[in-house]
Structure 1
Amino acid sequence: MKSPLAALGRFLVRNDAPVPYVPRAARTGPVMPYATRGGMEAQMRAMGTVGTLFAIVNRTSNATAQAEWRLYRRAPSGDPEDRREILSHPALDLWQRPNPFMPRQEFVEAFQQHIDLTGEGWWVLARNRRATMPLELWPVRPDRMEPVRHPELFLTGYVYTGPGGEQVPLGRRDVIQLRMPNPLDPYRGMGPVQTLLADLDGVRFSAEWNRNFFANSAEPGGIIEVPEGLLDEEFNELRDRWNEQHRGVANAHRVAILEHGKWVDRKYSHTDMQFTELRQLSREFIREAFGMPKPMLGTVEDANRANMEAAEVIFARYLVVPRLERIKSALNRELLPLFGTASAGLEFDYDNPVPADRELEARELEARARAVKDLVDAGAYGPQALEAVGLPAVAFGQPDADPDRELLIDLVKGAPAHLAELLLPALGFDLPAPAAESGGAPASSPPGTGNGGAGGETEGVEARWWPAASTPSTTWPPPGLTAARNNDGDENEEEGEEAEEAMDTVHRQHTEATTDLMDEWETVAEEQYQELAQQIQTAVDDEDPEALAELALSTDGTATLRRALGAMATTAAEQMAREADAQGVEVEPPDIDEALRNQMPVHVWAVFGVELVDIAAATAGLLASALAGQAGREALRRYRPGISGRQVAEEVTGWLRGLKHVLRRDTLADALHRAQNVGRLATLAEAPDPWRYVADERNDGNVCPPCREVDGTVFPDLEAARQVYGTGGYDQCAGGPRCRGTVRAIWNRPEDEEG
């Protein structure tokens, strides 16, 4: 059984530190090593006496002070990329303005000079004694601070000695110390200057010798020998007369006349003293102690662009980043906890100052992209190939997909039911459409149901059917569709060549239309940029960052998109008629609804493409909303109190112009492909029934497994084909809006199947 007294004894002599660091005799009161404090003062004074030291410390402290700091809320995933930036917090305000007399840059520069010169930097916190939250931060000289050491508690506080000798006790929570660890003293720091004291003295003394050389007639000294001793009056008179006639540069080389003495020369020239070599060597010692690249001090006699850029990287990576990491640790481990629960889950971090090696990044990206292409060409699935080579997950087949897919999903979720029903398949999102509103005939009514208008006005006239969006399925065929694979080589060689040529034409028509629409959209986009810039400028100047979440565009390009979709649908309808004609079947392509070409009311009879009017409006609106969201997020990232609204607006506008706008291209290209298939299906609806309707996915740049599976599928009728391709590409495609699948028709049955 353990002794209770032994347990009590262990409690009474408990140490906060695992081992004592000072004798127990030093339990109370600070230790005052005046020699150490005096040495620190000499180290700090050295900055003002040695030019190389000044240049190095000035460069490192300036670079450290110029770093941009941000406050983040840590992500549950632990990934820094998932953090959310916090724009308003007392800790952030304190760090931006540490005290009423110093902005952050001056504060950081001051204590960083102390660290570089002595190995220690100190912050003293000013606060309301009734609260723990600090109100101000002040840098203090290291030679005036002394830790109160304790053999059991390790550290009980600090004592600050003022210029007049007054001593101010400070608690452990009143002081934050940053230091380069000293291998001999866990309470103090050690900096490069402590290793350079002898060399710094050599530099200083050589400079003084050089100054005295010119002060003493620009000649080294000599000796006046007298045969007999001189009385004090005679000695003083000889010294004064000599100094009056020969001391100083103006009196150099004057003839000296000695009455009772003899001049003995002891010349040591500058060459003899090797001052140039001595000072050069001393500069090298100082640079080596700090690890400072020579070009960063302006030494450019052997510099070129390559080693200058390398010096920048070395300076930032090995000098600036470690200093920033030391500050980051102090902010997160010592300062932030003083703000209590308001700081839970928060962390300070800095923008990486290391310049990007763009050439290396470009080579790596090129090599990885080439590896992905090789894997996909060999049959690998695109997303898995991207993951295998370490590229970010993007939509299949496109390594530069736009990052705003989630935003567009949210926008579609919030869209009216009838628009979401139309847009989800077109944009390739694997989401079920919102439930259709009750009442009336369903939106997906098949042809001949007479749902064209109230009171049966269109009874007897075929209303254009539009399929409802269905929940994506991973199986083929989709529920309700009977399909047979066409794996028997039913097409003869001539028909295969005709099909290849026809699909090449379809692909070329779509590519040209996409290029033309993207060029035309630049005018729309520029108007949108200017409209967003005006809203951003107003929000920033009004110091109303919440308004950045409400950016909206009145210019959305609907008319432009309607015209493009109308032209594409007409071209596709005519192309389908030419494909029929090549097989000996005559068909007149139907007319496109005129509402797509102008602002006429929508008609739903006698023409096709009425659904594209709403598709154009919704697609243009979603692109405008996505652009406004991008602009608002970027403006919020650049916003800070006091910044000019015009500056933020110009920066955001330039940023928008520089984007690749992959989302825009994919969305517009998908809308055009939808119009293309609408036109093809409209012509097929007017044509005699063919022998077979066949799925054709050969125009996909990379064929995903679902598209590979559906390719060549034979549909039992046109409505079965429309169910799969009526919304554009194949609705199960992993590439979503990048699918270019379509329907072909074969009218001529092979001879072996006739009869």
Structure 2
Amino acid sequence: MTSYTLSARAAAAEARYDASRVVAKAAEGAYRDGPYYLPISGGWLSADVGSNLNFWQMGYDVERGGGTAIVQACVSAYAQTAAMCLGSHWKSRADGGRDRVTNSALSRILLRPNAYQSPSDFILNLTSLLYRRGNAYALAVRNARFEIVELHIMTGACAPLVAVDGSVFYSLSGNEVVERQLAPGALQAVPARDVLHVHLETPRHPLIGETPLTAAMLDLAMSNAMARQAIAFFDRQARPSGTLNTSNSLTADQVKELRERWDEQSRGLNAGGTPILANGLTWTPMTVAAKDTQFAEIMKMSEQNVALAYRVPLQVLGIGDQKFSTTELMMTSWLASGLGFCLNHIEQGFDRLFGLPGGLVEYTEFDTSVLLRSDFSTRVKAWVEGVKGRIFSSDEARADFELGKIDGGDQIFGQQQDIPLGMLDGSQALPAPTEPAPPAPEPPEEPNASRQQLPDLIRSVSDELFHGT
């Protein structure tokens, strides 16, 4: 396997790099405001709890928000949706159009990031790490021409390192495949040019992003505490579905016999039967207490707050009231907010790694039209309006439905009855109808020498016959 370094000379220079010069931005042991992430425990501590070194003796525990259903739903919504969008390398033209680049290193990586992952696998795991941890790292492997030929996601304890001269390196780990193919210690100080690093907001360090979970830690802590309390309650307390009531005094034998008869008519194979009550017995079903209803509402509110921190519409998660009438409206709303930022952020990460100028010059773009593939009627209507509006050709519309080209389909057609608005209100005069141009006169025939000699011949013959000359 080729090394990720530029050349053998650069590899030797980096092998001699003094790792002791790589220092963190803040001094070791200095106080930092929370929340605090504990890699060993794999969880978070809030600022108030983490300020106490003996937090476990005070009854606090590490919050592992990644295991809750709502967090998994939010992360999966981003990761799975981003994995559906195929990426492409685009380059703008001088006339305002653009061309898809298919022979570049970026285009090959987008189609085959490495030997063991598909493009969908790569984007799925990259986006999942981004929203779970706030940072996603991938090692770029280059060939002898300094072209990136492979990208490997690193899932371990990765961290940026800043040298005394400001150079940025990365300490990577967490990929058994690439670690076995490289020399030991090769991933301890990887240059920034060979690392795809996509991160979210960086409130504490310019190279360390933070997950949206940090803003929802209190909601997750409350939800986890209520869930643990509910499990303990239902595990230790038996709650019947109802009670049999009577004003008569019953002996122990009568109560036992009554319970056996009731179970005989309502349990096992006789479940759902109709017991007959007599001697003043009445059935009173158990109802949900008001505090239990409040318990459920608080749990629901905490889940909504987590979704709000991730900027995921509740309809995408399958909860909440129905707000959007069509799938297109829901996806359009999400693309304009959280999902659009996610895709654009990953696109710019690829642009930076491959040295593209970005913007509208040369850039990476994920195709979001696949998100509306299930909304067939909306796709057809949009293409019909685009073709009639002289924006697309017929072949472009047919290609989206995997149909072949037709004769004249590469041309853009329009209707002729459209006129400027000024002509409708009379501020501009209608152009006078143009008359057809008269046909051009035929050019005069060139004189023929034989035709010019014929009159002279006739005249000479006539003089000879009639005048004798």
Instruction: Identify whether the pair has TM-score above 0.5, normalized to the shorter chain.
Output: yes
Q: What's the counterpart of residue 149 of structure 1?
A: 162
Q: For the residues of structure 1 that align with 2:102 and 2:175, how far apart are their CA atoms?
A: 40
**Quick one: distance in 2 between partners of 1:124 and 1:350?**
21
Among residues 431, 435, 447, which one is paired with 1:711 in the alignment?
A: 435
| Structure 1 pair 218–100 and aligned structure 2 pair: CA distance change class (3 A) | farther
C-alpha displacement of 1:131: 4.5
1:125–1:134 Cα contact (<8 Å) kept: yes
Q: How does 1:558-597 map to 2 (within 5 A)?
A: none
Aligned to 1:51: 69
Q: Is the 8 A contact 2:65 2:213 kept in 1?
A: no
User: Which residue number in structure 1 is paired with residue 142 of structure 2?
Assistant: 127
**Partner deviation per Cα, 1:162-198 (whole Å, 9 max, x = no partner):** 5999963122222121111312211200221111122
Instruction: Answer yes or no: is 1:159 the counterpart of 2:171.
Output: yes
Residue 315 of structure 1 corresponds to which residue in structure 2? 334
Query: Within 5 A, what are the aligned runs for 1:656-675?
Result: 656=406
- 2:103 aligned residue: 88
Which runs of structure 2 are paired with 1:461-500 in the superposition (5 Å)?
A: none
Distance in 2 (CA, whole Å) between partners of 1:349 and 1:162 is 28
Name the SS of the counterpart of 1:292 in structure 2. coil
Partner of 1:239: none
Shift of 1:305: 5.0
- The reply to whether residue 303 of structure 1 matches residue 318 of structure 2 is no
What is residue 64 of structure 1 aligned with on the other side?
A: 82
Q: Does the 8 Å contact 2:43/2:65 carry over to 1?
A: no
User: Displacement of 1:71 after TM fit?
Assistant: 1.7
Give the alignment's Cα RMSD to 1 decimal: 4.8
Work out whether residues 327 and 372 of structure 2, in 8 Å CA contact, stay in contact via their aligned partners in 1.
Answer: no
Structure 1 match to 2:196: 176
Q: TM-score, normalised by structure 1?
A: 0.37
Aligned equivalents of 1:402 and 1:306: distance in 2? Answer: 27
Task: Write the distance in 2 (CA, Å) between the matches of 1:217 and 1:72.
Answer: 63
The SS at the match of 1:277 is helix
Q: Is the 8 A contact 2:83 2:120 kept in 1?
A: yes
Quote the offset at 1:316 in angstroms. Answer: 1.9
Tell me the SS of whatever aligns to 1:84: strand
**Shift, 1:122, TM fit:** 1.0
Local SS of the residue matching 2:348: helix
Distance apart, 1:157 and its partner CA: 0.7
**Pairing of 1:349-428 with structure 2 (within 5 A):** 349-353=365-369
Question: Match for 1:326 among 342, 345, 362?
Answer: 345
Q: CA 1:133–1:280 in 2, change beyond 3 Å: closer, same or farther?
A: same
Q: 1:284 aligns with which of 286, 292, 304?
A: 304
Matched-pair contact (CA < 8 Å) for 1:47–1:54: no
Mapping 1:533-552, distance limit 5 Å: none
Is the CA contact (8 Å cut-off) linking 1:402 and 1:661 kept in structure 2?
Answer: no
**Could you tell me which residue of structure 2 aligns to residue 497 of structure 1?**
none
Amino acid at match of 1:41: G
Report deviation, 1:309: 4.7
- Distance in structure 2 (CA, Å) of the matches to 1:116 and 1:662: 44
**2:273 aligned partner:** none
Q: CA deviation at 1:664?
A: 11
Is residue 159–residue 171 contact of structure 2 (8 Å, CA) maintained in 1? yes
C-alpha distance in structure 2 between counterparts of 1:275 and 1:402, whole Å: 55
Equivalent position of 2:118 in the other structure: 103
Cα distance between partner residues in 2 of 1:320 and 1:114: 15
**Alpha carbons of structure 1 residues 70 and 704: separation in structure 2 relative to 1, 3 Å:** farther
In 2: Cα distance, 1:284 partner to 1:144 partner: 30
- 1:64·1:324 contact (CA, 8 Å) conserved in 2? yes
What is the alpha-carbon distance in structure 1 between the residues aligned to residue 234 and residue 225 of structure 2?
15
- C-alpha separation in 2, matches of 1:206 and 1:329: 41
* Counterpart-to-counterpart distance in 2, 1:296 and 1:658: 42
Letter in 2 for 1:192: P
Q: What is the letter of the counterpart of residue 172 of structure 2? A: Y
Q: 1:270 to 1:101 in 2, by over 3 A?
A: farther
**Aligned-partner residue type, residue 317 of structure 1:** A
- The answer to whether the 8 Å contact 2:324/2:330 transfers is no
Q: Deviations over 1:567-615 (max 9, x none)?
A: xxxxxxxxxxxxxxxxxxxxxxxxxxxxxxxxxxxxxxxxxxxxxxxxx
- The 3 A distance-change label for structure 1 pair 97 and 163 is closer
**Secondary structure of 2:103's partner?**
coil
Return the structure number with greater relative CO, CA threshold 8 A, min gap 6. Answer: 2
Q: Which residue of 2 aligns with 1:74?
A: 92
Rounded to whole Å, the distance in 2 between the matches of 1:158 and 1:192 is: 23
Q: Note if contact 2:66-2:72 (Cα within 8 Å) is conserved in structure 1.
A: yes
Q: How far apart, CA to CA, are the structure 2 residues paired with 1:90 and 1:333?
A: 13
Q: 1:37 to 1:103 in 2, by over 3 A?
A: farther
1:145-294 aligned within 5 A:
145-153=158-166, 155-161=167-173, 168-169=187-188, 170-218=190-238, 271-272=290-291, 274-294=294-314
SS in 1 for 2:208: strand
Secondary structure of the residue aligned to 1:196 is: helix
**Displacement of 1:663 after TM fit?**
5.7
Q: Deviation digits for residues 420-472 of structure 1, max 9, x if unmatched?
A: xxxxxxxxxxxxxxxxxxxxxxxxxxxxxxxxxxxxxxxxxxxxxxxxxxxxx
**Distance between the aligned counterparts of 2:41 and 2:152, measured in 1?**
19
State the distance in 2 between where 1:113 and 1:199 align: 21
CA separation in 2, counterparts of 1:665 and 1:313? Answer: 30
1:100 partner SS: coil
Are the equivalent residues in 2 in contact too, given 1:46–1:53 (CA < 8 A)? no
Contact map agreement 2:138 2:196 (CA 8 A) in 1: yes
Q: Shift of the alpha carbon at 1:58? A: 0.5
1:308–1:324 Cα change, 3 Å: closer
| 2:157 matches 1:138 | no
Shift of 1:299: 2.3
Q: CA 1:662–1:134 in structure 2 vs 1: closer, same or farther (change >3 Å)?
A: closer
Deviations 1:63-87 (A, max 9, x none): 111112222233135x3xx112223
Structure 1 residues not aligned, in runs of 5+: 1-25, 220-268, 339-344, 367-390, 393-398, 405-629, 639-649, 667-702, 724-755
> Which whole-Å CA distance do the structure 1 matches of 2:211 and 2:113 have between them?
25
TM-score between both structures, scaled by the size of structure 2: 0.56
| Per-residue deviation, residues 629-664 of structure 1 (Å, max 9, x unmatched) | x86x899x78xxxxxxxxxxx8223x6499697769
Q: Which amino acid aligns with 1:181?
A: E
Q: Deviations over 1:198-255 (max 9, x none)?
A: 2112222222222222332447xxxxxxxxxxxxxxxxxxxxxxxxxxxxxxxxxxxx
Q: What residue is the counterpart of 1:581 in the other structure?
A: none
Query: Quick one: distance in 2 between partners of 1:403 and 1:194?
Result: 46
Aligned AA (1:136): E
C-alpha offsets along residues 115-134 of structure 1, whole Å, 9 cap, x if unaligned? 11222111111234x44222
